[in-house]
Structure 1
């Protein structure tokens, strides 16, 4: 019995991607549910993992980038009967906005962190070994849960600095250097991220598993990745994309989950978790958008359509969005008064002002393709 004045025991609970805490389920049961939810990918080109492992920096990064292009195009998408009614009208406009907005995920997203942070230490694609990149990508993903990209990058910087300066490892964060860091020190180094003590434990366990079960490299499939503590489908699919060039599933984080439910691209009643959203999206979203949709919606959710403080006054899709704030749209004349933002929208505001006349010539019921065509002349 708890006596008067005694403190409740604090229990740290971490659920990936903002899922509601399952207070009465053991961690092993939660992990089992995640593994059981993993579906095999559709029939796609198989990847020769051993071939990828043999690639040097001069080949590896270009090969992966060719399979997971970050460039956002303007080419109109073909309409399909099974698409949600508002998908094309919203998504194609979001694509245009994203090409003009600088967002945190573009520079310090998990896939970029190894190279972005590496530049601070004189590293580049030419000097970072692919295996080192894959390991750092995995660590960045494990640290990212419920943590902003900018904070995650700071934690990775701390790790790299310690590994290089204190451990004298020229490659910085590697499997070998992380094996030498005790759990308490690791927790202190990653302190800025949420649940840092739990994540330090997960990383130490993961380092051991990688050595014992995966030949010291990142697992090349979703089942192997989900067998690591603290790694769920979202992290796993993103890791496969940028580490092995394998687009086996959609990476659904809190932004993708929130926006897809808000626009009703998935049934909010069925999509109780981000992984539910992933499976529902994969039922109808064209495979060629499986990689793109994550960076497109994540950046859009970070800077324009935030959970709080939406910028409907800057949104090109405010005429078709079912969740638009009309008061903000009416205040569009003040959009040049930049608010504090995680990203940079100056180029987008300029572009928006220059193309307002073209947009106004389109009838309310006009085809969104006309809007795309009206802007292609100024497209990069």
Structure 2
């Protein structure tokens, strides 16, 4: 495994002092050893307050995000490939638009499989995802990813961040969300622009990119929170930025256990 910030393999510094380290992954999914950071003051109170404000789970991500789109509502089973496609379509696109595109693909004659994606013409595939951002690039990425999955992974979505980030159009954020949703594997935190913005405003990180935010957040956030923090704060960010949801969030803040603190957050 690689080492970062001077952490030695056994957790000892060069001066013999014990270092508090943890295992993580870099942007390409390689194992690295990192040194833990001190928790930001008061983070738990804010975190718990956001949990309270989000207890209804009624933000767009909750009903139109990748986790719901890849899950069969009748059986509860998760389709890893549908989850992958939802995430590949999600960049620069609202969840509601992604949901429509995924449903178009699921309802196409061949359904939504790597084989059916390859069988479609570029124009047909583009027609199904016409409303998403960067549909030309995403059409190409969907085709390339389907071919790689069939050729190199026996038709199954990869189960490691390293293999997932090798697919076109897949970065660390998407890889960690796919692993969590499809395989219940939590190797890292999926950080999007909502989370990047919110955590910098809160002072929990001082970063210039979502990937830097992920690294800093993982250095102190308890690991048991890694699998829930994405949907929790993505939804919170959506509700603060979209007027129809913001009004509901304001009312919820007033009725919360800490109205003043909640209103400052929103």
* Fold shared by both chains (TM-score > 0.5): yes
CA contact (8 A) 1:104 1:342 kept: no
Ranges of 4+ aligned residues in structure 1 off by more than 4 Å: 34-37, 351-355
User: For the residues of structure 2 that align with 1:198 and 1:142, how far apart are their CA atoms?
Assistant: 10
Query: How far apart, in 1, do the equivalents of 2:32 and 2:224 lie?
Result: 13
Deviation at 1:176, TM superposition (A): 2.0
The structural deviation recorded for 1:237 is 0.3
Of structures 1 and 2, the one scoring higher in RCO (CA 8 A, sep 6+) is 1
CA distance in 2, matches of 1:89, 1:203: 42
- In structure 2, the residue matched to 1:206 is 145
TM-score normalized by the length of structure 1: 0.57
**2:213 matched residue in structure 1:** 277
Contact 1:237–1:247 (Cα < 8 Å) also in 2: yes
User: Which structure 2 residue ranges, 5 or more long, are not aligned?
Assistant: 1-24, 262-266
Which residue is equivalent to 1:125? 75
1:109 Cα offset (Å): 0.5
Q: Who is 1:341 aligned against? A: 244
Is the partner of 1:345 in helix, strand or coil?
Answer: helix
- Residue in 2 aligned with 1:151? 97
Q: Distance in 2 between matches of 1:284 and 1:147?
A: 30
Equivalent pairs counted in the alignment come to: 236
Aligned to 2:117: 178
Paired residues for 1:120-269 under 5 Å: 124-125=74-75, 133-161=79-107, 163=108, 167=109, 169=110, 172-267=111-206
Match of 2:235 among 287, 299, 324: 299
Look at both structures and tell me which one has the larger radius of gyration over its CA atoms: 1
Shift of 1:40: 2.3
Q: 1:240 to 1:101 in 2, by over 3 A?
A: closer
- Tell me the CA shift for residue 36 of structure 1: 5.4
Q: Given that residues 29 and 165 in structure 2 are in contact (C-alpha distance below 8 angstroms), is that contact kept between their aligned partners in structure 1?
A: no
Cα root mean square deviation, aligned: 2.9
Q: How high is the TM-score relative to the length of structure 2?
A: 0.80
Q: How many Å separate the matches in 1 of 2:213 and 2:42?
A: 17
- Distance (whole Å) between structure 2 residues aligned to residue 36 and residue 303 of structure 1: 29
Indicate if the aligned counterparts of 1:101 and 1:343 stay in contact, CA closer than 8 A. no
User: SS of 1:299's equivalent?
Assistant: helix
Q: Cα 1:359–1:235, aligned 2, differ >3 Å: closer, same or farther?
A: closer
Which structure has the highest strand share of the two?
2
Unaligned runs of 5+ in 1: 1-33, 43-80, 310-339, 365-380
1:264: how far off?
Answer: 1.3
